[in-house]
Amino acid sequence: MTLFTSGLTSFLATLGFAVIFNIPRRHLLTASLNGALGWMLYTLIMQLGGTIIFANFAGAVTVGLIGELLANHFRKPATIFIIPGIIPFVPGYGIFYTMESIMLQNFSEAVSKGSESFMIAVAIASGLIVSSTVGKYVRTYARRRKAT
């Protein structure tokens, strides 16, 4: 899949979830672009031979940082931009195949897929924590600088 196609499909997926999550209309485009940029970075890392765990981490950090910047700019909660943008990263296929392998009593495959899905979820959570922490420190620094 090309980078453009990947970005377009993730933009549309993020847009759909932004509508489902009732994001304000004027922020639908920015929230969707946020998801598309994060997923395009994920795709680029995967094309360059990176691991799926690192690609998810980097994509989550990107979505989180852009979400924090947009929240600061628009004076809105960061979750408006981050939650829809992170949806393309959710390892739904891995969880599905884990459950399918359990049902078929292929336990070695279930453990393999399950552990990979768990590590992807940890990478996404870690990426969001890192971006949230960086956003907090940037806001604190900006307030201190503005006060002086």
Write the pLDDT tens digit of every residue in 28-79. Answer: 999 999 999 999 999 999 999 999 999 999 999 999 999 999 999 999 999 9
Range of the domain at 109: 3-147
> pTM value?
0.90
Contact 84, 17 (CB under 8 A): yes
In this predicted structure, what is the pLDDT of residue 146? 81
Nearest-angstrom CA–CA distance, 10 and 17:
11
More confident residue, 86 or 144: 86
DSSP 3-state assignment of 124?
helix
pLDDT of 148 over the 80 cut: no
In this predicted structure, what is the pLDDT of residue 142? 82
In this predicted structure, what is the pLDDT of residue 78? 93
Contact 94, 113 (CB under 8 A): yes
Nearest-angstrom CA–CA distance, 33 and 41:
12
In this predicted structure, what is the pLDDT of residue 99? 95
pLDDT of 1 over the 80 cut: no
pLDDT tens digits, one per residue of 82-123? 999 999 999 899 999 999 999 999 999 999 999 999 999 999
pLDDT of 27 over the 70 cut: yes
CB-count exposure of residue 70 (10 Å: 0-12, 13-18, 19+) = buried
What band does 23 get if pLDDT is binned at 50, 70 and 90? very high
> What's the total number of domains in the chain?
1
